[in-house]
Amino acid sequence: MTTTNAALRDWVARAATLTRPDQIHWCDGSQAEHDRLLELMLERGELIALNQATHPGCYLHRSHPSDVARVEHLTFVCTRSRDEAGPNNNWMDPLEANRRIDALFDGCMRGRTMYVVPYCMGPLASPFSRCGVEITDSPYVVLNMRIMTRMGEAALRRIERDGSFVRGLHSIGDLDPERRLIMHFPEELSIKSIGSGYGGNALLGKKCHALRIASWQARDEGWLAEHMLIVGVENPQGETHYLACAFPSACGKTNLAMLVPPASLPGWKVWTLGDDIAWLHPGPDGRLRAINPESGFFGVVPGTNQKTNRNAYEMIRHDTIYTNVGITADRQPWWEGLGEGKPAQDWQGRPYDAANGPAAHPNSRFTVAAKQNPSYSPLSEASDGVPISAILFGGRRCKVAPLVYEARDWRHGVLVGAGMASETTAAAVGKVGVVRRDPMAMKPFCGYNFADYWSHWLSFEGRARQLPKVFHVNWFRQDDDGRFLWPGFGDNLHVLRWVIDRCTGRAGARETAIGFLPEPRDLDMQGLEIGPTALKQLLDVDPAAWRAEMDDIARYLGEFGDRLPPALTEQQRRTRTALG
Q: Which positions are catalytic?
A: 251
Task: Among 71, 427, 517, 568, indicate the residue that binds ligand GTP (CB under 6 A).
Answer: 427
**Which residues inside 175-194 make contact with ligand SPV, applying CB under 6 A?**
none
Rounded to an integer, what distance in angstroms lies between the CA atom of residue 208 and that of residue 192?
A: 9
Chain length of the chain: 580
Specify whether the backbone of 508 is left (phi greater than 0), alpha (psi in -120 to 50) or beta.
beta
Which region among 13-21, 199-207, 309-317, 397-405 touches ligand SPV (by CB under 6 A)?
Answer: 199-207
Q: Which of 276, 501 has the CB closer to ligand SPV? A: 276
Pick from ligand GTP, Mn ion, ligand SPV, none: which does 113 bind, CB < 5 to 8 A by kind?
none
List 394's β-bridge partners, or say none.
473
Distance CA 218, CA 121 (A): 14
Long-range contacts from 350-355, C-beta under 8 angstroms, 24+ separation? 352/326
Q: How would you classify the pairing of strands 150-151 and 130-136?
A: unpaired
The C-alpha atoms of residue 326 and residue 334 are separated, in whole angstroms, by 5
Chosen residue from 67, 275, 276, 336 binding Mn ion by CB under 5 A:
276
Please select the residue that binds ligand SPV; options are 29, 86, 152, 199, rule is CB under 6 A. 199
- Smallest gap from residue 200 Cβ to ligand SPV (A): 2
How near is the Cβ of 57 to ligand SPV at its closest, in Å? 22
Residues 87-126 that bind ligand GTP (CB under 6 A): none
Binding mask 242-261 for ligand SPV (x = CB under 6 A): -------x------------
Which of the choices ligand GTP, ligand SPV, Mn ion, none does residue 275 contact, using the CB cut-off of 5 to 8 A by kind?
Answer: ligand GTP
* List of residues 6+ apart from 74 with CB closer than 8 A: 177, 180, 181, 182, 195
Nearer to Mn ion, 276 or 346 (CB): 276
Among positions 189, 312, 427, 530, the unique one binding ligand SPV when judged by CB under 6 A: 427
- 243 contacts: CB under 8 Å, gap ≥ 6: 230, 231, 232, 233, 388, 389, 390, 391, 392, 496, 499, 500
Minimal distance, residue 176 CB to ligand SPV, in Å: 19
- Backbone φ and ψ for 219, nearest 5 degrees, come out as -60, -45
Q: What is the 3-state secondary structure (H, E, C) of 143-175?
A: HHHHHHCEECHHHHHHHHHHCCCEEEEEECCCC
Query: Is 475 a binder of ligand GTP (CB under 6 A)?
Result: yes
- Binding residue for ligand SPV, selected from 298, 322, 405, 516, defined by CB under 6 A: 298
Q: Which stretch binds ligand GTP (CB under 6 A): 74-82, 246-254, 341-349, 554-562?
A: 246-254
Number of residues that bind ligand GTP (CB under 6 A): 22
Q: Least CB distance from residue 486 to ligand GTP, whole Å?
A: 7
Closest C-alpha to 244, from 212, 205, 282, 272: 272
Strands 321-323 and 190-194 come out as unpaired
Region near Mn ion per CB under 5 A, out of 8-16, 247-255, 345-353, 418-426:
247-255
Q: Shortest Cβ distance from residue 199 to ligand GTP (Å)?
A: 9
Q: Which is nearer to ligand SPV, 199 or 252 (CB)?
A: 199
Would you tell me which residues interact with Mn ion (CB under 5 A)? 249, 276
Would you tell me which residues interact with ligand GTP (CB under 6 A)? 247, 249-255, 275-276, 299-300, 302-303, 308, 427, 475-476, 484, 488-489, 492
Would you tell me which residues interact with ligand SPV (CB under 6 A)? 70, 199-200, 206-207, 249, 276, 298, 427
